[in-house]
Structure 1
Amino acid sequence: MTNNEGKGFRTGITLLGLGPGDPASLTRRTWSWLEGIDILYLRTAHHPSVSHLPAHLVIESFDPFYERYDDFESVYEAIVEKILHLGMNTRVTYGVPGHPFVAEATCPEIARRANQVGIPVQVIDGLSFLEPTWRALGVDPFPNTSLADALEIAMRQTPGFPPSSPALIAQIYDRDVAAAVKLTLMTAYPDEHPVFLVHGAGTDAEIVEELPLHEIDKSPHIRLLSSLYVPPLSPQASFEAFQEVIARLRAPDGCPWDREQTHLTLRPFLLEEAYETLDALDREDMVDLEEELGDLLLQILLHAQIAEEQGHFNIHHVIEGIANKLIRRHPHVFSGRAVDGVQGVIRSWEEIKAEERQAHEVGEKSGILDGVPTALPALLQAEHIIERVSRVGFQGLSSLGELDTIREGLEALEASQAKAKQTIFGELLLGLTSLAHRFGIDAESALREALNRFRDRFGMMEAEALATGEKLIDLSTEELSRRWNQTLGAGQEQAAV
């Protein structure tokens, strides 16, 4: 790509920026070039500067393409092909709003393809919409403002940029786009978050509106030259900001305790935070769950930071790896592969995992059960194993969960000698877990719930005894039984209320 004014070339392409809209913003170089050509091709003639261009110019607009094709990608592809064809046989000037390489899909692609086939290209810069937008808002985009396209944001489930930094979203060209962008942003920002719509930046019709996020699609001023500025939530409201906090704790001048931690010393905390998160889930306490998820995320970031310091991997490798795995294992979501309901998803999942295992080198995990950590609690480990073997049609564990088999096991347990009791009891527990799987019961959760009920009842009984100056250890077996039965009735009444 060159910028030599096209001198000496009989063929080639000039990519020209028409500025943000005010004719006074056209550069002297742009105006000089326009005075020296006869035909100007425009992506769109719907631009305020067009009516002020040199009178002798023949204007060829690609606006009809927007009616001819069903989507923007097809429109842009047709424009690119046309300009490349013209540039191969003559000297062609193609003008676009703003700057040819700012929020402009066609010019970079034209330049890329032209370079591949040897067509000379020059770029005549224009003032983009960005400079007058910053001036209208009275802000400096540095050091970390994110730039985004409204159509891309509208198609996302989440914004895609950190809410700890400001963002500018271009091409909010109608209310439908504004509504779609609003819904995406509201997954990360409060409905009342103050934002700014900037209309016609750099033109005589420039307007800046401050309004709550949930009202942006109600603005009567939205048009082709509208953008949305989103101020940050808070300096700490992003994954990147949290990552910086963790790195700072582990820095040479950080916290002595955090700096001393290793993967092994942190192991108990990871387990503890996981169980505290489960406890919040069991209690359906959303306030506690929010806090516990943060504590669990802290452990993940600490392990990733230590691994980065040791040269093994970093958190971005972790995120990329799990994201790629999920995309690879969900072709029915990301690749359009058809599946037949939930069972079809499970079959597809197992087929993909089998392919992954075959692709691993010798010595790496390759069996169906190798992915079940042996460090898991035995009941949870049993659930995973039962689930995995059932996916491939193995019924050996299912037979242990038959009611007759369980009854036989109970009889054998009672009649067996002491040495055999533990083995038989283990088989019974495995059978009960298999029975739970057959009934669709989460055995681990069921046991935790039963333990929580017991703790509540026992605590109630203990509190009643202490209220009368008694200690449970001093009560007879019969009295303990009586009070235990009373707590059952009290607990049922409390649950009913």
Structure 2
Amino acid sequence: MGKIQIMGLGAGDLEQLPYGVYSRLLAAEFVHLRTKEHPVVENLKAAGVQFESFDAVYESKDNFDDVYRQIADYLLEKAKTQDLIYAVPGHPLVAEDSVKHLLQNQAGIEVEIVGGKSFIDDFFQAVAIDPIEGFQLLDGLSFHQDQLSLGSHLIIMQVFNEFVASDVKLKLMEKYPDEHQVALVDAAGTKLQKVTWCPLYEMDRLEGVHNLLSLYVPPLQLDERTKSFELTQAYMDAIVDKDVWVQSQTHESLLPYLKEECEEVAEAIQNDDTDNLIEELGDILLQVLYHASFGEREGFFTMEDVLETLNRKLRRRHPHVFDGVKADTIEEIDKMWQAIKAKEKGNSDETR
């Protein structure tokens, strides 16, 4: 049985390719490339390195995951009888799903990560930030706005054309101000490096394809994170620490306020008043936070306990969403819910 050695081609120019990796590539009899669309490939070709790429696979599949699985399956099958060298852009362990599939193989094929250099160091240098302050690295093709940590430096990879940039922009504008200054960083660390700062709403004005383009989004200051639950919790912590009225409340004293807010939500719905409904739903959330703060002060429970209980219940009571259970009608869902709740009650009785 063979072995697969995986090497990273670096983030761009030949100067960014580690010498040890370059030496192994030059000495290789044959190299499998995830893609030949990389600046270093021309240098390898000029040096006489023999290779094949998987670029044709991208054209034959509808999504990237299928592409990476097919590449991995092909390499694993071939590695049953011979040693292979597989080269990918950047570093093999940075945003390389085909490498993940190879590492997780069940065929017992040995996989060795030889090394490489990712674009991350050069990217940080291009925008002059220190990663110790905290950062997120996300894929422009698959991230969701709920993943965003607004207080961290944000790098979004694979923003390689106007279509992807437009999708990324719309997701970011759910959380960030439209005028928030962001940077488009192209070919970080290479002789062609270009850093373009612009307001968030203008970031999708791209022409052509930019294979080495990533987006940098600076963190928001605390008071600017108005669309995050993180800011709500930070404000509540400060209020609970200093507000004597909040400190004096109990579950019983807060109950009339909760009832009042529920009535005002009902009134806003009856009046079809969307703006007021938004505000009143926020007021109900505030009551939840008040009750959680009292529970924490008394040592009964925390907001994290409330969230954990809710999240476990959401997961447990929706097997038709998360576990593939068939329930297509309201009647089927109701029957399933009743069975789940009866089981929960039975388990609860058993532990009393």
Q: Shorter-chain TM-score: which interval?
A: 0.7 to 0.9
Distance 2:294 2:52 in 1: 60
CA contact (8 A) 1:194 1:211 kept: yes
Q: CA deviation at 1:260?
A: 5.1
Distance 2:162 2:282 in 1: 37
Q: CA deviation at 1:318?
A: 4.4
Match of 1:240 in 2: 230
Aligned residue type for 2:230 = E
The alignment status of 1:179 with 2:169, answered yes or no, reads: no
User: What CA deviation, in whole Å up to 9, does each residue of 1:235-285 have, x standing for no partner?
Assistant: 1422123224434555xx665554554433432332233334445556666
Q: CA deviation at 1:145?
A: 2.1
Aligned partner (choices 49, 63, 66) of residue 74 of structure 1: 66
Distance 1:326 1:355 in 2: 10
SS at match of 1:314: helix
> Gaps (5+ residues) in structure 1?
1-9, 366-497
CA gap 1:327/1:209 in 2 versus in 1, 3 angstroms: farther
Match of 2:125 in 1: 135
Distance 2:103 2:165 in 1: 31
CA contact (8 A) 1:44 1:62 kept: yes
TM-score (norm 1): 0.61
Which segment drifts farther, 208-217 or 20-29? 208-217
Distance 1:14 1:66 in 2: 22
CA gap 1:281/1:210 in 2 versus in 1, 3 angstroms: farther
CA contact (8 A) 1:305 1:315 kept: no
CA gap 1:363/1:12 in 2 versus in 1, 3 angstroms: closer
Aligned residue type for 1:140 = D
CA contact (8 A) 1:164 1:232 kept: yes
CA contact (8 A) 1:168 1:229 kept: yes
Q: CA deviation at 1:23?
A: 0.7
Which segment drifts farther, 74-83 or 218-227? 218-227
Aligned residue type for 1:219 = L
Distance 2:294 2:81 in 1: 59
CA contact (8 A) 1:164 1:241 kept: no
Superposed counterparts of 1:254-265, under 5 Å: 257-259=245-247, 261-265=249-253
SS at match of 1:142: helix
CA gap 1:296/1:141 in 2 versus in 1, 3 angstroms: farther
SS at match of 1:296: helix
Distance 2:62 2:274 in 1: 45
Distance 2:312 2:287 in 1: 18
Distance 2:9 2:48 in 1: 17
Aligned residue type for 1:242 = T
CA gap 1:165/1:271 in 2 versus in 1, 3 angstroms: farther
Aligned partner (choices 2, 13, 27) of residue 11 of structure 1: 2
Aligned partner (choices 318, 333, 347) of residue 349 of structure 1: 333
Match of 1:457 in 2: none
User: What CA deviation, in whole Å up to 9, does each residue of 1:359-416 have, x standing for no partner?
Assistant: 2233869xxxxxxxxxxxxxxxxxxxxxxxxxxxxxxxxxxxxxxxxxxxxxxxxxxx
Q: CA deviation at 1:287?
A: 5.8
CA gap 1:222/1:69 in 2 versus in 1, 3 angstroms: closer
Aligned residue type for 2:68 = Y
Distance 1:148 1:101 in 2: 14
CA gap 1:52/1:305 in 2 versus in 1, 3 angstroms: farther
Distance 2:159 2:248 in 1: 50
> Aligned-residue CA RMSD in angstroms?
3.1
Aligned residue type for 1:18 = L
Match of 2:150 in 1: 163
Distance 2:239 2:96 in 1: 42
Q: CA deviation at 1:353?
A: 1.8
Aligned residue type for 1:46 = E
CA contact (8 A) 1:169 1:227 kept: yes
CA contact (8 A) 1:38 1:56 kept: no
CA contact (8 A) 1:40 1:94 kept: yes
CA contact (8 A) 2:133 2:152 kept: no
Q: CA deviation at 1:176?
A: 1.3
Q: CA deviation at 1:189?
A: 2.9
- Structure having the larger proportion of residues in strand: 2
SS at match of 1:162: coil
SS at match of 2:68: helix
Distance 1:173 1:85 in 2: 32
Match of 2:102 in 1: 110
Distance 2:318 2:188 in 1: 40
Structure label with greater radius of gyration: 1
- Structure having the larger proportion of residues in helix: 1
Match of 2:199 in 1: 212
Superposed counterparts of 1:196-207, under 5 Å: 196-207=183-194
Match of 1:151 in 2: 141
Aligned residue type for 1:32 = S
Distance 1:197 1:235 in 2: 24
CA gap 1:232/1:307 in 2 versus in 1, 3 angstroms: same
Aligned partner (choices 15, 18, 25) of residue 16 of structure 2: 25
Number of matched pairs: 342
Superposed counterparts of 1:13-92, under 5 Å: 13-53=4-44, 55-92=47-84
Superposed counterparts of 1:67-466, under 5 Å: 67-113=59-105, 116-153=106-143, 156=144, 158-220=145-207, 222-236=209-223, 237=225, 238-247=228-237, 249=239, 257-259=245-247, 261-279=249-267, 289-307=277-295, 309-311=299-301, 314-321=305-312, 323-324=314-315, 327-328=318-319, 339=328, 344=329, 346-362=330-346
Distance 2:348 2:341 in 1: 8
SS at match of 1:167: strand
User: What CA deviation, in whole Å up to 9, does each residue of 1:36-88 have, x standing for no partner?
Assistant: 32111111110111112372321111111111222211111111111222333
> Gaps (5+ residues) in structure 2?
none
